[in-house]
Amino acid sequence: MLADLHSHTNLSDGTLSPDELVQRAISRELDYLAITDHDSIDAFDQISELPKDCGLSLLSGVEISTLWESHEIHIVGIGLDRKNPSLISLLKDQQQLRRERAEQMDMQLQKAGVCGLMSYLDQQACTAISRNHVADFLIANGVARNKEQAFKRHLNNKGRFGAKAHWCSMAKAIDTIHEAGGISILAHPNRYRMGNKKIRLLVQEFARVNGEAMEVSYSNLDPNGVAHMADIAVLNDLWASTGSDFHTPRNQWMDLGKFRQLPPQCIERAVWHHPRWPGARL
């Protein structure tokens, strides 16, 4: 079973259109692909009908930015009813927060003599503005040499052009995903610049507010990392998910389906055995 349950299109900060992403998933022989753009479910509406017998099943999804103890925590939801009013309303608010954050960055940039961020963003295909787009703008204007530098020097919270957004709480994101009939998944738990002790507290809190699953295997996570995540999932009685967090074919380490299989202690708790696994409804 190859289920990539975390991926992005150009409706948020990926580079492929929804159809291009689906084509890549077919050629990489995935069984399941969940499209989980940042704070947007719009990609799904743009997908053409899948070729018959292509072997791929598509799941709707989203990756919601939340705040927990001043950390930005990402909650993935899969198998969503995209017409659910609570979901639509939350994502509209989140997209507005993204725009307001970009406007704050634009003001800082203008003070430094760099103009045109908002018109650059309006030319993009995205419905959810990301710092990734701002990083591209900084590179195009010679402010940063590459993405790494753009984020490190300029776009993190303490960076020169950084700005905070007051994302919703983890509980709000999880409740909304459940209202829309989806499964909630804590994304990439070791990517939040926290020590192991804090990661454990985060997962405990996620489970306490009814989160159901966590990513156990994902791109760039070595076997020790996967085993560590698997232990934490078991300890908190969470379902185990897998996903690449694919953004672009230019990053070969985060390609679709490129992650290790779930370790033995997690096979029974793989999220595709969840009673509300959306694949069963397809």
Binding site for ligand AMP (CB under 6 A): 13, 38, 65, 130-132, 147-148, 151, 247
Residue 57, SS3 per DSSP: strand
- The answer to the question of residue 74 lying near Mn ion (CB under 5 A) is yes
- The minimum distance between CB 40 and ligand AMP, in angstroms, equals 11
**Residue 147 touches which of Mn ion, ligand AMP, none (Cβ within 5-8 Å per kind):** ligand AMP
For Mn ion, give the closer residue by CB, 255 or 265.
Answer: 255
Confirm or reject binding of residue 39 to Mn ion (CB under 5 A): no
When CB distances are held under 5 to 8 angstroms depending on the partner's kind, the choice from ligand AMP, Mn ion, none that residue 131 binds is ligand AMP
**Measured between alpha carbons, how far is 27 from 212 in angstroms, rounded to an integer?**
31
Q: How far is CA 168 from CA 44, 77, 88, 97, 279, in A?
A: 23, 15, 14, 10, 28
Pick one of ligand AMP, Mn ion, none as the site partner of residue 66 (Cβ within 5 to 8 A by kind).
Answer: none
Q: Is 183 helix (H, G, I), strand (E, B) or coil?
A: strand
Give the shortest CB-11-to-Mn ion separation in angstroms. Answer: 12
CB 24, min distance to ligand AMP, A? 17
The answer to the question of residue 245 lying near Mn ion (CB under 5 A) is yes
* Shortest Å, Cβ 129 to Mn ion: 11
Q: Which is closer to ligand AMP, CB of 99 or CB of 208?
A: 99
Cβ 126 to ligand AMP shortest distance, Å: 10
Told to check if 98 binds Mn ion by CB under 5 A, we report: no
Residues 6+ apart with CB under 8 A from 104: 163
In this structure, how many other beta carbons lie within 10 angstroms of the beta carbon of residue 237? 9
- Compare residues 62 and 110 and give the one whose CB is closer to Mn ion: 62
DSSP class per residue in 210-253: T--EEEEEETT--HHHHHHHHHHHHHTT-EEEEE--B--TT-GG
Least separation in angstroms between residue 12's CB and ligand AMP is: 8
**Which of 214/264 has CB closer to Mn ion?**
214
Asked if residues 26 and 53 have their Cβ atoms less than 8 Å apart, the reply is no
CB 266 within 8 A of CB 272: no
Cα(237)–Cα(233) distance, integer angstroms:
6
Q: Which is nearer to ligand AMP, 38 or 269 (CB)?
A: 38
13: tokens are 């900060």
For residue 13, state whether it binds Mn ion (rule: CB under 5 A).
yes
Strands (E), the chain: 3-4, 32-35, 57-68, 71-78, 168-169, 183-186, 213-218, 239-243
185: phi then psi, degrees, rounded to nearest 5 = -135, 125
Q: Which does 65 bind (CB under 5 to 8 A by kind): ligand AMP, Mn ion, none?
A: ligand AMP
Closer CB to Mn ion, residue 98 or residue 172?
Answer: 98
Comparison of 147 and 276: residue with beta carbon closer to ligand AMP: 147
Q: What are the residues binding Mn ion (CB under 5 A)?
A: 13, 63, 74, 187, 245
